[in-house]
Structure 1
Amino acid sequence: MAFDKQTITDFFTGLQDRICRALEETDGKARFHEDLWERAEGGGGRTRIIQNGDVIEKGGVLFSAVHGPASEATLKQMNRSEPADFYATGVSIVIHPHSPLVPIIHMNVRYFELSTGECWFGGGIDLTPHYVDDEDARWFHEQLKTACDRHHPDYYAKFKTWADDYFFIRHRAETRGIGGVFFDYLRPIDDDHKAALFAFVQEIGNSFAPIYTYFMQKNRDLPFGETEKKWQMLRRGRYVEFNLVWDRGTKFGLETNGRTESILMSMPPQANWVYDYQPQPGSREEETLHKLKKGINWV
């Protein structure tokens, strides 16, 4: 069965709705504010922002479907010289909690096609705890492995490695968090393969709400103090560095004249930088830094 871009787009709009309802229900206080926007070159989206909740300090669940002539930078990235139009749609999420003991989470699922007939899927989920807890990290990766295993026995190992490599702050020589799964340029070879890839993308998208609401409920009431809040601000600073320096989605959005407020919604409400910060030996902060590395086998 063939899936056209409208079928895929409709799934993404529904996914945004379901995730927003789950986050509002679990937070218990805050509600999403929606901005509908249009892109001058073609298409638009629905930006939904949630702020000042019981658990969520700031978060965004974004849907977009944009189209038009592909930029020179985009074509160059795809090793193409001839002009082409593009269509891109997807859902992107970043949630920053109040508590330093509730992790930051990011998810993106997307579909891209060119007027030349080429198309592909991409996406993934990664978790950025302010403090790495082995039990939480193991549970998170178990959920992703289960989702991947339903579609291909090689997916989890392959896409976990890809996440470790992608969510890496090269100028700091540390990972952004504990990784997850990341995949891009999954090109279908026929209609059946396209249906299979779409089913996998749906699986990843649908796994977001159960995963993050679990952490919201489990960790929301854990006690913390000023030391933990200061550390949270420093880890948020690292998050900003990755998104502005290395993230391809941010660069693509700016290069294609996307909506700036939506593109930069991933920024935390507050962050901090301390010159040459060194954690206390033996502290939880030092322990977390030692676990921000590639290749940890959590499951």
Structure 2
Amino acid sequence: MERNEIEEFFKSLQDDICAQLEQTDGKATFQEDLWQHKTGGGGRTRLIQHGDILEKGGVNFSAVEGPLGEDMKKALKINEDADFFATGVSIVQHPRNPMVPIIHMNVRYFELSNGTYWFGGGIDLTPHYINEAQAKWFHEQLKAVCDKHGVDFYQTFKERADDYFYLPHRDETRGVGGIFFDHLNEKSLNLSKSQIFDFVKDVGNVFAPTYCHLMTINKDKAYTQKNKEWQFLRRGRYVEFNLVWDRGTKFGLVTGGRTESILMSLPPQANWEYCFEPEAGSEEQKTLDALKKGIDWLA
């Protein structure tokens, strides 16, 4: 399998997801911004704003290459000189209505000129208000994809998502989790490269129908100013994770990626309130109480 086959799939995945999100939103369209990487390759940043459902969202494709810099060598724990190639699709959607959840997805491929390669990615859901039935349905979609490729995939990658999408300084998960995987290759899995790629493709393809369903069933729900203020506070937590803990953000900045594209994951507005405490027994408090590792959303 050649890397151009993987790159072309990610391009087509970006096109398909953008088309489905535009159709579901019904108003806004994606604006494309093409860019070039300083050492080779580039990307297509696509941003949607001011929609009926989506306040701001990005669906980004990139395929970049070049020599490993010292920062990258340190991050990858590699001593020898080598060239790298990295391609993938990265998505974050911030809805207008606080009853519609935030969602993130990333699928990616990385290889070195010494023959090392791996796939990575994941999907996680960040509701401003947790709906247990919807969280269960979301995890059911991911489990169905995982079960096609490995009997232990869902549980393994679900636990990794709990560990990864977590704010240690807050002792809370980013949302209801999902799946997260990295460094997948023949050495880490008893699967061929093409079989791993098939799994990554299925993960990418499940995104649009899953999120479009959640957009549709929640978009017309009533909300108050109090709900909006809570949404802004929860967006603040999202910003904290992406700027402090997210590996993809750090990797993009370290490798000299395009700053605007890397930071497209940030919401259009986020708030921080000093020592905010939700009212006891409120829906806001119930959501905070459920932001814990290890919850079995399928139970």
Q: Same fold (TM over 0.5)?
A: yes
Q: How does 1:182-193 map to 2 (within 5 A)?
A: 182-189=180-187, 193=192
Preserved CA contact (<8 Å) 1:243 1:250:
yes
The alpha carbon displacement at 1:191 in A equals 11
Pick closer, same or farther for the CA change 1:87–1:225 going to 2, 3 Å. same
Partner of 2:285: 286
Structure 1 residue ranges without an equivalent (≥5): none
Letter in 2 for 1:253: G
The equivalent of 1:116 in structure 2 is: 114
Residue aligned with 2:297, SS: coil
Partner of 1:256: 255
**Superposed structure 1 runs of 4+ greater than 3 Å apart:** 189-192
Counterpart in 2 of 1:221? 220
What is the rounded CA distance, in whole Å, between the counterparts of 1:148 and 1:210 in structure 2?
16
Q: Which residue of 2 aligns with 1:103?
A: 101
Match of 2:131 among 133, 152, 160: 133
Q: Cα deviations across residues 77-133 of structure 1 (Å, max 9, x unaligned)?
A: 322111111000000000000000000000000000001100000001000000011
| CA deviations over 1:236-265 (Å, ceiling 9, x no partner) | 000000000000000000000000000000
What amino acid is the match of 2:146?
Answer: C
Equivalent AA in structure 2 for residue 205 of structure 1:
G
Distance in 2 (alpha carbons) for counterparts of 1:13 and 1:146:
24
Q: Which residue of 2 aligns with 1:43?
A: 41
Give the Cα separation in 2 of the matches to 1:71 and 1:127: 33
What SS class does the counterpart of residue 137 from structure 2 fall into?
helix
Distance 1:141 1:158 in 2: 13
How does 1:145-224 map onto structure 2 within 5 Å? 145-189=143-187, 193-224=192-223
- Contact map agreement 2:103 2:126 (CA 8 A) in 1: yes
CA distance in 2, matches of 1:242, 1:70: 26
Q: Which residue of structure 2 lines up, in the alignment, with residue 60 of structure 1?
A: 58
The number of equivalent residue pairs is 297
* CA deviation vs aligned residue, 1:272-299 (integer Å, no higher than 9, x gap): 0000000000000000000001000011
Gaps of 5+ in 2: none
- 2-structure distance, mates of 1:242, 1:157: 23
Match of 1:30 among 28, 31, 37: 28
Counterpart AA for 2:49? Q
Could you say which residue in structure 2 is the equivalent of 1:236?
Answer: 235
Q: Matches of 1:191 and 1:219 in 2, distance apart? A: 40
Query: What SS is found at the alignment partner of 2:192?
Result: helix
8 A Cα contact 2:185 2:191, kept in partner: no
For 1:222 and 1:142, how far apart are their aligned partners in 2?
23
* Aligned amino acid, residue 23 of structure 1: L
**Structure 2 CA distance, aligned partners of 1:191 and 1:158?**
15
